[in-house]
Amino acid sequence: MTEPALDPTFYRSAADAAAAPAEELAYVVAFDRSGERHDAMTVVDVGRGSADYGRVVGWTDMPGLGDELHHFGWNACSSALRHEGHDMSGLARRYLLVPGLRSSNIYVLDTADDPRSPRLVKTIDGKELSAKAGYSRPHTLHCGPDGVFLTCLGGPEGDEDGPGGIALLDHTTFDVVRAWETDRGPQHFHYDAWWHLNQNVLISSEWGSPSMIENGLVPELLLGGKYGHAVHFWDLEEGRHVQRIDLGAEHQMALEVRPSHDPDATWGFVGVVVSTKDLTGSVWRWFREGTGSTAEWKMEKVITIPPEPADPDLLPPLLKGFGAVPPVITDIDLSVDDRFLYVSCWATGEMKQFDVTDPAHPVQVGSVRLGGIVGRTPHPARPDLPLAGGPQMVEVSRDGRRVYFTNSLYGAWDDQFFPDGVGAWMAKLDADPNGGLSIDESFFPHGDDFRGLRPHQIRLQGGDASSDSYCYR
């Protein structure tokens, strides 16, 4: 009997992923801040040469209201090759699992029949997530070797500010199986998690509990150093906490973790939103020092981005007293070849590109500006239209040549930093293989293209720089 063919978008190595055919579609979640309209999965044509290039060509409404769709991911990806030799029949990069950060519902969309029209096939109720895993406020999804890992900001219903953590979902039924952790140690806050698969290590980061984020940034908590400021290292197979590294209370909100795509590497980056000492944003590198029983994880700050002085009259109330705009690093992304790191400076409206060939000494090699609290830099396609928001959720194509981003952070935070409205837009950059960025003037979905909803995270057809873990060199 012939073995079923593996999904061709399961790549054995990062080099295989980069060499695969380019994406033709981008999946982009969009939400209604008022909670009066349905959030949606939108589909944007990104096929260069397509007659619909840069247009929203698909739309799937979610059944609920007030979900605030946020981060989402595939049911399976290249990490499935960790299962080689086991039964992988039918496993494919087919379903998008889409959590509602406010509702705790999770929607499962099938992209197989018509990739431009994802079809809702299952809803996982927030009550199931709470009952089976003890968590709420699902945030980030990663397809892992043993199931789908779903990071959650909150505890169970009735104790939402209890410890956040990781829920494990079944690859095929999408049922909530259990909480992943067997020993959480000192970990309480949660945000993102990813891993070094071949090293049996998971890395997680911290934002804050639901009450600290859902109604906006709380200045007293920020200035008091109460948001998350640590990174945690875990035994991936056992779900056991191994080590906590405190970055210092001034370094508030350690968010996205981006490990090297090299399966033998033991380093990666985490972005930190802001320093309460000087309003800088920063990126830190983790690395392992030593071997065997003496091995220890360490972290060092490798990128510091300063605030930009500004007329207080141009600033929202939250920032007037500072007379400056902090960069507010809300996302980072590492290219599949581990060559370039992209850093979203949402408040200043800048996307930075760093050459991280030497990950201990990043060098800035590219920058573009769109939006920003003060600059309101327009897109070249609409020089008459000042833009609010700024580069936020960023995604990089597998070959590293295309960089996509959207402008909305999180509803309540959008409203604090851009009280006159954040708008809705998506942009694409062309990345030079030797470093450097330029804005694609022909790609600019915005405004009514998103029917009044705010676009957030992007996933690319066939995988992208923040989707897959590779098992082979």
Taking residues 240-247, report their average pLDDT: 98
Taking residues 412-438, report their average pLDDT: 98
* CA gap 22, 467 in Å, rounded: 15
* CA gap 324, 309 in Å, rounded: 4
Q: What is the pLDDT of residue 168?
A: 97
* CA gap 139, 35 in Å, rounded: 18
pLDDT above 80 (res 372): yes
Residue in 61, 124, 89, 65 with CA at minimum distance from that of residue 5 = 89
What six digits make up the tokens of 91? 């496993």
Q: What is the pLDDT of residue 1?
A: 41
Taking residues 231-242, report their average pLDDT: 97
Q: What is the pLDDT of residue 84?
A: 61
Taking residues 372-395, report their average pLDDT: 98
* CA gap 346, 408 in Å, rounded: 9
CB 446 within 8 A of CB 424: yes
User: Which of 25-34, 288-297, 431-440 is predicted with the least confidence, judged by mean pLDDT?
Assistant: 288-297
* CA gap 74, 93 in Å, rounded: 6
Taking residues 444-456, report their average pLDDT: 98
Residue in 177, 173, 176, 165 with CA at minimum distance from that of residue 139 = 165
pLDDT above 60 (res 2): no
473 band by pLDDT with thresholds 50, 70 and 90: confident
Q: What is the pLDDT of residue 291?
A: 80
pLDDT above 70 (res 88): no
- For the chain, how far is it from start to end, CA to CA, in angstroms? 30
What does the domain layout of the chain look like in residue ranges? 14-460
pLDDT tens digits for 128-157? 999 999 999 999 999 987 789 999 999 999
438 band by pLDDT with thresholds 50, 70 and 90: very high
Q: What is the pLDDT of residue 3?
A: 53
DSSP state, residue 415: H
Taking residues 32-47, report their average pLDDT: 98
Q: What is the mean pLDDT of the chain?
A: 96
The residues, any chain, with a CB within 8 Å of residue 114's CB and separated by 6 or more, are none
123 membership: H or E segment, kind and range: strand 119-124
pLDDT above 80 (res 237): yes
Q: Hey, how many other C-beta atoms are within 10 angstroms of the C-beta on 291?
A: 7
User: 151: which strand partners?
Assistant: 140, 166
CB 422 within 8 A of CB 391: no
DSSP state, residue 321: G
pLDDT above 90 (res 200): yes
pLDDT above 80 (res 165): yes
For 14-460, CATH number out of 2.130.10.10, 1.10.1060.10, 3.20.130.10, 3.40.470.10 equals 2.130.10.10
Q: Which residue do the tokens 């981008």 mark?
A: 26
Q: E-assigned strands of 191-259? A: 193-196, 201-204, 230-235, 240-246, 251-259
The residues, any chain, with a CB within 8 Å of residue 396's CB and separated by 6 or more, are 333, 334, 335, 336, 340, 342, 402, 403, 404, 431, 464, 465, 466
279 band by pLDDT with thresholds 50, 70 and 90: very high
Q: Which residue do the tokens 């030079």 mark?
A: 432
pLDDT above 60 (res 225): yes
83 band by pLDDT with thresholds 50, 70 and 90: low
User: Which of 4-18, 253-267, 382-396 is predicted with the least confidence, judged by mean pLDDT?
Assistant: 4-18
Amino acid letter for position 234: W
10 band by pLDDT with thresholds 50, 70 and 90: very high
* CA gap 448, 445 in Å, rounded: 9
pLDDT above 70 (res 228): yes
Q: What is the pLDDT of residue 145?
A: 76
Q: What is the pLDDT of residue 205?
A: 98
Q: What is the pLDDT of residue 290?
A: 86
Taking residues 219-238, report their average pLDDT: 97
pLDDT above 90 (res 171): no
252 band by pLDDT with thresholds 50, 70 and 90: very high
